[in-house]
Structure 1
Amino acid sequence: MLVLASSPGFADTVVDQGRQLLDEGKGRAAWELLESRESERAGDTYYDFLLGLAALEVGENTRAVFALERVLALDPSNLRARAEIARAYLALGEAETARQEFETVRRQGVPADVSLTLERYIAAAKRMEKGERATLNGYVEAQFGYDSNVNAGPNRSSITFPSGFSVPLPPDVKANEDVFAQLGAGANASLPVNANLSFLAGVSGSSRGNFDKGQFNIGSADANAGAVVSLGRNVLTLMGQAGLVTLESSNYRSVFGVTGQWQHNLDARNQVSIFGQYAEMNYLTNRQRDVTRRLGGISYAHMWREGAVAFGSAYLLNESPERPHNSQHRFDGYGMRLGGRLSVDEKTIFFGGVSYERRAYAKALPADLGRQDDQYGVVLGATHAIASDWTLTPQLSLTFNRSNLELNDYHREVVSLAIRREF
């Protein structure tokens, strides 16, 4: 009798703890707690519903379907359970079943904000249904803004040598401010081979013109091609890249390289990645500056239940001159980045990030000081959907480069507004 009397209270405690853990974003702890009681609690609709949510959180999508099916068997009108089981079907790749379940929920007259979320899921399911076909998408973008330092020059009129001798800087060397306009466009294609392998390719380009400082007008063109392999919770990406930068309509720098990434999805809301890059950078107007760039690092990302996302990464990098005698262009460094985004409503997303990079250059001569740079960056902005496939993005970008050599010490502030059309 004591066991029977105490069981309901204990069971409720388990459910209450599971619900609290889910509300706190502790999906793994909720799953471990609830899953251990499945044999004795299966058939309790509220328990099964929480078990299904916890299973989704940790990527146990098949177990989520089983739990939520039990809920719907006893309560077919439970729209929340039906929406969650649709998410599980989508995660399992059963796009048609997921779309049908989402559409069933939408037909019940849900609130407008919920309906918009369902529309996104339905669109995702439809894209997945077409996954065996090649796809093509792209964008065009126009941007207008102000740049306090279009040439990334020192914010001073002269430099002073250790001896005390001061030299004035030419106008094109020191920092130049200007208003600018920029046009850009790009396209990406995907060719799925099967459920685990897809080939990707893309091209993009932009042209930025300054209103007064035309000698610093800059353009770029980039292309990439590669493959993505999905193996359970692991996603492997390998891409070849090529790019060209122009300065005042003349070829300035070309880049050829390869990037790779291994992404592991820990659960539905956490992922870790290891990435690397190898590239040859050729300065077409001064081949003495040609370098080989190597970079490798690790990153982590987390998404909260409300949809907010945070990420962080750390990396090591090296640039080595292709001509060994040009040792002043060699440096070793490291860096880190933190950022995230937050949806404030169905149309507006705030984003931001901070970055730091340390570069230590080799000495060209024994008497050299040895250049050392510490570069800090801040980006703040928002993306607002003004119409279907149209977005407006105001953005503030700050760069502070602190160097032990005055010629390389500068700061830069860029304020811009971009309008983008995706297709």
Structure 2
Amino acid sequence: MHFKKTICLASLLMLAFQPAAHADTLTDQARELLESGKSTQAFALLDTQESTRAGEPLFDFLLGLAALDVGQNTRAVFALERVLAMDPNHVRARAEIARAYLALGEADTARKEFETVQKQGVPADVSLTLERYIAAARNVQDQSKVSANGYLELTLGYDTNLNLGPNKSTVVIPGISSAPATLSKDSKANKDNFGQLGAGANVRIPVSRQVAVLAGVSGTERFNGHTDQFDLGNADANLGAVLTDGKSVYTLMGQSSHLVVDKDRYRMATGLTGQWQYNHDSRNQFSLYAQYSDLHYLTQDVRDADRWVGGAAYAHLWRDNAVGYASIYLVNEKPQAAHVEFLGFDGFGARFGARANVTPKTIVFGNFSFEQRRHVAVDPAFLTKRRDEQYAMLVGASYAFEKDWTVTPQLSLGRNVSNTALNEYHREMVSVAIRREF
């Protein structure tokens, strides 16, 4: 994790280390603004008074905290150094100045400060939080070295619609007949238990202080209990570069993905993704991205298509370590064959999600997504332009039961509403994954 992505100290630290100085109207107001997440207003309030009140431990502490939240890391260091000059045992100020050093890229100094805080008899749960920061500081120190990581994962679950088929036995296809057509077993929704194995590895190779080469591979193999005709295999590979320039991070990545159904190659996708990420401050992050994919269906060339996606995203970190994010995007898929224009569509979508630590070892998470698609030509089977609205929701939790080991139960719900009966369906899936990271 690059130091620009470093997050703030957990609320556990806020509760454990309260500044023991006399408060007044100004500092009370600033504290209320900080606790309600209004760091920009708090910094503006305190900044105007620094020349007259610098040297007061509580004022300097709150100024340092606000400055750190809005990305004024050097100002934060100066303010917190004044606090520690007056009170070297101010544990909270030392923890926050360590965070400021880490944000400035001074990883060695940050690590030493975090370790000093940890040695001062903090509660066990706070110590666990500090361990994560110490690890982050060590990771920043290693940015000049080649680094690699990987994982293995086993998932067991139950899926009510493996093949995304309609949840009915008959449909009317106007372009063929006005009488209902009976669907084959493989055409309608199939439910089954499944097991899935997954693995992946990533490597980061620094070229300079600002530039690094990234590469990764991953794959999954899914086996169904009774419907092996829908067994899936997937392999992905990516190669690209990342450039860090101040608060901006630019990424360009080439990608290739191969999907196998029942041991037969089904689809290959190759493409390119570009992203600009702007780390506004320690709590807010913005990004813009664009992606192109060449979709090639090995046994159905008529479905080959060019796919474009472009969008924007925003993420916010609350003081209690909860993270929320939202994104919107536009999508266009155009068939490469001239006589199947009805397979092409334009669309837009949105995603919303959040995650939060409920204990030092437990994270809960959830997300919701929506995508609307409008096809550009009349479908000859249904004598109309196809229109779809797809909804999906996921909730789950991840528990770290041992170092580098997590167990993650989750529930996924999906529904596609369409004016063409063959494409209308709902899907429910429950699963439990055990993951080992290296």
TM-score, length-normalised on structure 1?
0.96
Quick check: 1:326–1:364 contact (8 Å CA) kept in 2?
Answer: no
1:28 corresponding residue in structure 2: 40
Q: How far apart are residue 268 of structure 1 and its match? A: 1.0
Identity %: 56
Quick check: 1:352–1:379 contact (8 Å CA) kept in 2?
Answer: yes
Query: Structure 2: how far apart are the matches of 1:387 and 1:273?
Result: 34
Residues 92-113 of structure 1, C-alpha deviations (whole Å, 9 max, x = no match): 0001100111111111111101
Quick check: 2:378–2:386 contact (8 Å CA) kept in 1?
Answer: no
SS at match of 2:285: strand
Moved over 3 A (4+): 161-164, 364-367
Query: Structure 2: how far apart are the matches of 1:229 and 1:156?
Result: 51
Match of 1:106 among 81, 99, 118: 118
Quick check: 1:245–1:252 contact (8 Å CA) kept in 2?
Answer: yes
Q: Confirm or deny that 1:14 pairs with 2:29.
A: no
Q: Confirm or deny that 1:134 pairs with 2:146.
A: yes
Quick check: 1:55–1:64 contact (8 Å CA) kept in 2?
Answer: yes
1:4 corresponding residue in structure 2: none
1:379 corresponding residue in structure 2: 394
How do 1:2-401 and structure 2 match up within 5 A?
Answer: 12-162=24-174, 164-364=178-378, 368-401=383-416
Quick check: 2:369–2:391 contact (8 Å CA) kept in 1?
Answer: yes
Query: Structure 1: how far apart are the matches of 2:189 and 2:111?
Result: 55
2:418 corresponding residue in structure 1: 403
Residues 252-279 of structure 1, C-alpha deviations (whole Å, 9 max, x = no match): 0001001111111222101111111001
Quick check: 2:379–2:386 contact (8 Å CA) kept in 1?
Answer: no
1:412 corresponding residue in structure 2: 427
Equivalent pairs counted in the alignment come to 413
Q: How far apart are residue 361 of structure 1 and its match? A: 1.1
SS at match of 2:385: coil
Query: Structure 1: how far apart are the matches of 2:142 and 2:313?
Result: 31
SS at match of 1:383: strand
Q: How far apart are residue 365 of structure 1 and its match? A: 6.1
SS at match of 1:118: helix
- CA distance change for structure 1 residues 75 and 227 in 2, over 3 Å: closer, same or farther? same
Residues 44-66 of structure 1, C-alpha deviations (whole Å, 9 max, x = no match): 11100000000110011000000
Quick check: 1:82–1:105 contact (8 Å CA) kept in 2?
Answer: yes
SS at match of 2:93: helix
Query: Structure 2: how far apart are the matches of 1:343 and 1:111?
Result: 17
Query: Structure 1: how far apart are the matches of 2:331 and 2:199?
Result: 29
Q: How far apart are residue 194 of structure 1 and its match? A: 2.6
Residues 54-100 of structure 1, C-alpha deviations (whole Å, 9 max, x = no match): 01100110000000001111111111111100000000000110011
Q: How far apart are residue 362 of structure 1 and its match? A: 2.2
AA paired with 1:86? A
SS at match of 1:18: helix
AA paired with 1:368? L
Query: Structure 1: how far apart are the matches of 2:208 and 2:106?
Result: 14
Quick check: 2:215–2:238 contact (8 Å CA) kept in 1?
Answer: yes
Gaps of 5+ in 1: 1-10
Query: Structure 1: how far apart are the matches of 2:369 and 2:130?
Result: 35
Quick check: 2:76–2:100 contact (8 Å CA) kept in 1?
Answer: yes
Query: Structure 1: how far apart are the matches of 2:103 and 2:173?
Result: 62
Q: How far apart are residue 12 of structure 1 and its match? A: 2.3
Q: How far apart are residue 164 of structure 1 and its match? A: 4.0
Q: How far apart are residue 228 of structure 1 and its match? A: 1.1
Quick check: 1:180–1:210 contact (8 Å CA) kept in 2?
Answer: yes
Q: How far apart are residue 389 of structure 1 and its match? A: 0.3
Quick check: 1:99–1:126 contact (8 Å CA) kept in 2?
Answer: yes
Quick check: 1:260–1:275 contact (8 Å CA) kept in 2?
Answer: yes
AA paired with 1:210? N
Q: Pairwise CA RMSD of aligned residues?
A: 1.2
SS at match of 1:173: coil
Q: How far apart are residue 233 of structure 1 and its match? A: 1.1
AA paired with 1:246? V
Gaps of 5+ in 2: 1-22
